[in-house]
Chains A and B, each alone.
Chain A
Amino acid sequence: MKRILAIVLLLIGGAAALWLPGFYRAAGVGAGFVAKQMCSCVFVGDRSDASCRPDLLESMDSIEAERLDGVEGFRAFIPLLAERRALHEPPYGCILQP
């Protein structure tokens, strides 16, 4: 029984090891997309947050976005998974931060 359990755990662990990096990368790209697009739409396109958000892909609805305090920019995040920020630096538009 212990051997079976060990094999199952090993398989689950292996699958997670294969799957998680890709999942984290995808979450990071999604957060980057939302941060960048919201920042550019609002600060370069001169539109409201409420007007910009529906222009993003429906598949990005689970990614939250909020304005940064004290600077022109957006933070987009999936709790515990990914976070990206984009800052408005006129006249160069919005720039994703490393």
Chain B
Amino acid sequence: MGDDVDRAHLDSLLDDLFTGEGRGGLPDTRAVLVVRGGRLVLERYAPGFDANQRFHSWSMAKSVTQGLIGILVREGRLAVDERAPVDAWSAQGDPRRALTLRHLLHMTSGLANADGEDGAGPESFVATLLFGSASHDMAGSAAAVPLAHDPGTHWAYSTGTSAILGGIVSQTVGDRAAVRAWLERELLTPLGMDSLVLEVDTRGQLVGGSHAWATARDWARFGLLYLRGGVWDGQTILPGGWVDFSRTPAPAPNNTTFGAHLWINHDPASDQFKPIQGAGPSVFTMSGNGGQYVAMVPEKDLVVVRLGEMLVHDWDALSPKVGALIQAFPDRAPGEAAP
């Protein structure tokens, strides 16, 4: 932990994080982990949950998908500024032919598949995509929409766009068995992240925007990979500059907090929210429905993981608690020894 951390204060913050309760008496917060200086220094689970269980990512899966795209870029099989390899857009004269992986990673494609723009009910695009008629071919369904904005001019959060990226990964690597073997070789084995399950649709293509499952420790490992610039134990997993690219805001007038499928803790644009209130602007996060967080804090050499559910979706209540936990740790340079 380090002598520079007030343990009693930390315990009080943790107790506060674990107080919420949802339906059936289930705790809202199920796991909190802190990795400091590359070492697991704090780990707590709610009753009924433990280190062996996989936790649902919800939209943190989007950040996993962007990592997979990064690996393919490192391998030279994809390039960020090349035309996105989507067959449905390949016809001459199709305006979607102009879309690049950069647009998709930034969620500035302009495609008419944004979450929430048609409500949040069972007939919404995202619900149909994940659980309805479009769930058999998520990438294809998400790509089969027109442009609502010119590419690169408008940011819109879109699970469909992540599904398209998941489909691109699958299409580039091969069938689901090939993707799994590649995933194990390029990411899971190097990181020791054996628990990760990336769910697929009926076609066998990655869901991409949701439905990744891993233990809390493996979520922490994945966060540490980003905190360490994409290098793990001396092995380059993500290409040089990828993490900086990921945590730089997408260039659109209505965006300040979204990079390349990761969130950045900047003051939000009008229709956005600050990922973690009370934490600094260098913090970048993977975030998901229900209050999932993997937060990377460079100036503190810290990864904070919070997993659970939050059925009332009260981000304004949860986010400052995570921010306070981060602030309980003093700044520290990467690799600096504990006092």
Binding site for B on A (CB under 8 A): 22, 25-30, 32-33, 36, 40-41, 44-47, 50-51, 53-55, 57-58, 84, 90-98
Contact: B180 with A91, CB < 8 Å?
A: yes
Contact: A46 with B53, CB < 8 Å?
A: yes
- In the bound complex, residues from chain B placing their C-beta under 8 Å from that of A51 are 24, 26, 48
C-alpha spacing A95/B128, complex, angstroms:
15
Contact: B26 with A94, CB < 8 Å?
A: no
Contact: A41 with B127, CB < 8 Å?
A: no
Contact: B128 with A29, CB < 8 Å?
A: yes
Q: Which of B170-184 contact A (CB under 8 A)?
A: 176, 180
Contact: A45 with B204, CB < 8 Å?
A: no
Interface digits, B178-214 against A, CB 8 Å rule (1 contact, 0 not)? 0010000000000000000111111010000001010
C-alpha spacing A98/B52, complex, angstroms:
32
Contact: A26 with B122, CB < 8 Å?
A: yes
Contact: B127 with A33, CB < 8 Å?
A: yes
- In the bound complex, residues from chain A placing their C-beta under 8 Å from that of B96 are none
C-alpha spacing A56/B303, complex, angstroms:
29
C-alpha spacing A92/B130, complex, angstroms:
15
C-alpha spacing A96/B132, complex, angstroms:
9
Q: Which residue of B lies closest to A48 (CB)?
A: B48
Q: Which of B306-335 contact A (CB under 8 A)?
A: 309, 311
- In the bound complex, residues from chain A placing their C-beta under 8 Å from that of B204 are 92
C-alpha spacing A93/B204, complex, angstroms:
11
Minimum Cβ distance to chain A for residue B311 (Å): 8
Contact: A26 with B121, CB < 8 Å?
A: yes
Contact of B256 with A by CB under 8 A? no
Contact of B54 with A by CB under 8 A? yes
Contact: B22 with A96, CB < 8 Å?
A: no
Which of A30, A36, A46 interacts with B122 by CB under 8 Å?
Answer: A30
Contact: A55 with B199, CB < 8 Å?
A: no
Q: Which residue of A lies closest to B48 (CB)?
A: A51
- In the bound complex, residues from chain A placing their C-beta under 8 Å from that of B176 are 92
Contact: A96 with B56, CB < 8 Å?
A: no
Interface of A is mostly: helix
- In the bound complex, residues from chain A placing their C-beta under 8 Å from that of B199 are 40, 44, 92-95
Which of A29, A45, A54, A91 interacts with B22 by CB under 8 Å?
Answer: A54
Q: Which residue of A lies closest to B183 (CB)?
A: A91
Minimum Cβ distance to chain B for residue A88 (Å): 10
C-alpha spacing A44/B214, complex, angstroms:
9
Contact: B23 with A58, CB < 8 Å?
A: yes
Contact: A25 with B131, CB < 8 Å?
A: no
Contact of B228 with A by CB under 8 A? no
Q: Which 8 A-B residue pairings sit nearest by Cβ, starting from the closest? A: A54-B24, A93-B199, A32-B131, A29-B132, A54-B23, A26-B122, A29-B122, A33-B131
Contact: B52 with A46, CB < 8 Å?
A: yes
Contact: B128 with A55, CB < 8 Å?
A: no
Contact of B16 with A by CB under 8 A? no
Known: A40-B213, A44-B54, A54-B23. A93 touches B128 (CB 8 A): no
Contact: A45 with B54, CB < 8 Å?
A: yes
Beyond A33-B131, A36-B130, A40-B199, 17 additional pairs, beta carbon < 8 A: A25-B132, A26-B121, A26-B123, A28-B133, A33-B122, A36-B135, A40-B211, A46-B52, A47-B53, A51-B24, A51-B26, A54-B23, A54-B25, A90-B197, A95-B199, A95-B201, A96-B202
Contact of B44 with A by CB under 8 A? no
- In the bound complex, residues from chain A placing their C-beta under 8 Å from that of B155 are none
Contact of B263 with A by CB under 8 A? no
Question: Which one of B127, B135, B204 has the highest number of Cβ atoms from chain A below 10 Å of its Cβ?
Answer: B135
Contact: B202 with A93, CB < 8 Å?
A: no
Q: Which residue of A lies closest to B127 (CB)?
A: A29
